[in-house]
Amino acid sequence: MNIAEWLAATARARPEAPALLTGFERDADYRTFARRAASLGAALARDHGISPGDRVALFAGNCTQYLECLYGIWWIGAVAIPINAKLHGREAAWICSNGGAGLAFVSSDTIGALIEARDDLPSGMKMLSVDSDDYGKMRGGEGPPSPLEREDDDLAWLFYTSGTTGRPKGVMISHGNLVAMSLCYMADVDHATPEDAALYAAPISHGAGLYNFPITRMGGRHVVPESGGFDPDEVLNLGRQLDNVVMFAAPTMVRRLVDAAKKRGENGEGLRTIIYGGGPMYLADIRDAIATMGQRFVQIYGQGESPMTITALSRDWHRRTEHPRYLERLTSVGTAQSVMRVRITDKDGNPLAAGETGEVEAKGAAVMLGYWNNPKANAETLKDGWLRTGDVGRLDEDGFLTLSDRSKDVIISGGTNIYPREVEEALLTHPDVREVSAIGVPDPDWGEIVVACVVLEKGAVADDGKLDAHCLASIARFKRPKRYVYLDALPKNNYGKVLKTSLREMMKKQEG
């Protein structure tokens, strides 16, 4: 089934229902939303040669056009490559090239970065700004009344998620994966209704955007803040006036929202559900959030490889304060979602008993098809249908999963994954840097910050500003180190491998 059929069905059933809003201003009802998607799809095929299975990138900030583009791509059976708008132009260009994008939708705030990286783009790839007159003409016509039929295993969403061992990997998410994820949303996360207003304060290119499907199916509102991002006061104002607002937020966003609510003497009126995930939520923070804003919270745990759909900690478990193991439950990430199975394995892949700690593995209808053109990564990550997450945790006897560590050295800052090797490779191209290791250090505002432990070349002088500027020339601003520590040597084992654990311990002692 083509996931775009949900938009077509809702447009027939509730044509005049408000669909797309920027702040409080309505941009389209469902009849118009579906017509624009169909028109965009027709123009992609007719004027740009996009065929079923071809890839189309989206490198744009949050806007209602983003959702139009997604559904326009799927309407004709093509594949969307959503790219984080915060990425450096060269990083976005590499993704376009690896995915073989024939066209990229961009916005006025991203087009310059991609133009500067034009030498890294795939040959013949076109760029089209969603803020342009040409885009207005593309969406202003007519198209096929129904989306092209697709099979459940046909590719729909190609999501690039970096690893610790090299370039980003393209996660292949099928139409069937998206349907399974959406059904899990309605069974395990929240009950979508026609009165809902999905607020996109987090990037549509990531988890927030994935949650558009159940809202679309039920005919709810899709709301992009006027700021295009996350501003706590704006969110509180929108919630109070729109009502029935549902939003996805990283734990750092939740903390900022709670602080703003306290300052204003409010409790988040109108924000019906806040779904949090994408990083560790500390017990003190979620208890403070509940005390300030009430029982509005649901937690999910997932990965790009099984989007938003490994486990969930329901609203009910957040409110069951009388349970003898309430605090233990609150520090967990919940139980397996409805289409998923979760287990813990040892280093050899053998299942472990309840209470034992090992690698988290997941299996079910939401798990990706595999990595794009990467058989080696597929063999390492997928074993007999089980997804090896690289996360470490334990299951209790009731099936609640508690994460204790990450086997990979991913740094999660502000809910966004930052991969140390990308930072290290950028810094190692500086002539003054001999060795470097990037680690995550706990931070009250960001969850973690990137700290670069640097060994300089002989005679070089420590200069944070110089290294910062060098990073900004090749990687996204949010990935650059927030702190530099200069060392005479990096701690290593007998095989020459840098001991990041020792570096983290060193930083703990310094903080202490």
Domain boundaries, the chain: 5-393, 411-511
Do the domains 411-511 and 5-393 match in fold? no
280-283: long-range contacts (C-beta < 8 A, 24 or more apart)?
A: 280/251, 280/403, 280/412, 280/447, 281/251, 281/254, 282/251, 283/327, 283/330, 283/331
pLDDT of residue 495: 45
Question: Minimum mean pLDDT among 35-39, 278-282, 434-438: which range?
Answer: 278-282
Whether residue 182 is predicted with pLDDT greater than 70 in this model: the reply is yes
Using alpha carbons, select from 295, 260, 302, 252 the residue that is nearest to residue 274: 295
> Do 386 and 363 touch, CB atoms closer than 8 A?
yes
What share of the chain has pLDDT > 90, as a percent? Answer: 84
Most confident of 394-398, 414-418, 500-504: 394-398
Tell me: pLDDT of 407 over 70: no
Give SS3 for 415: coil
Q: DSSP letters along 141-189, please?
A: S---SSPPP--TTSEEEEEEE--TTSS-EEEEEEHHHHHHHHHHIIIII
Query: Per-residue pLDDT for 89 more than 90?
Result: yes
Backbone angles phi, psi at 275, to 5 degrees: -95, 120
**Mean per-residue pLDDT over the chain, rounded:** 94
pLDDT of 19 reads 98
Q: Are 165 and 421 a contacting pair, CB within 8 Å?
A: yes
The pLDDT tens digits for 97-153 are 999 999 999 999 999 999 999 999 999 999 999 999 999 999 999 999 999 999 999
Given this model, what pLDDT does residue 166 score?
59
3-state helix, strand, coil in the chain (%, to 5): 35, 30, 35
The stretch 213-218 carries a mean pLDDT of 98
Residue 274 has φ and ψ, to the nearest 5°, of -115, 115
Q: 359 falls in which pLDDT band (50, 70, 90)?
A: very high
Mark 18-28 as b/e (b = at least 16 C-beta within 10 Å): bbbbbeeeebb
The predicted structure's pLDDT at residue 165: 46
- C-alpha distances out from residue 52 to 56, 150, 178, 256, 509, Å: 11, 9, 18, 42, 56
Tokens of 231: 């501003």
Q: What is the pLDDT of residue 512?
A: 65
Residue-wise pLDDT tens digits, 154-167: 999 999 986 444 58
DSSP type of residue 440? E
pTM metric for this prediction: 0.85
Strands 433-443 and 447-456: antiparallel
Question: What band does 369 get if pLDDT is binned at 50, 70 and 90?
Answer: very high
Greater confidence (457 vs 167) lies with: 457
Residue 72 has pLDDT above 80, yes or no: yes
Q: Which residue has the higher pLDDT, 255 or 10?
A: 10
Q: How confident is the model at residue 496 (pLDDT cuts 50, 70, 90)?
A: low
* Paired tokens of 178: 């998206």
Contact in structure between 67 and 6 (CB atoms under 8 Å): no
Q: 298 has which bridge partners?
A: 275
CATH number for the region 411-511 comes to 3.30.300.30
Residue 23 above 90 pLDDT?
yes
Which of 274-278, 297-301, 504-508 is most confident?
297-301
Tokens at 135, concatenated: 């885009």
pLDDT of amino acid 464: 96
Tell me the backbone φ, ψ of residue 10, rounded to 5 degrees: -65, -35
Where is pLDDT greater, at 281 or 158? 158
Q: How far is CA 145 from CA 75, 152, 382, in A?
A: 9, 21, 38
Range name among 67-76, 253-262, 383-392, 491-500 with the lowest pLDDT average: 491-500
Does domain 5-393 match CATH 3.40.190.10? no
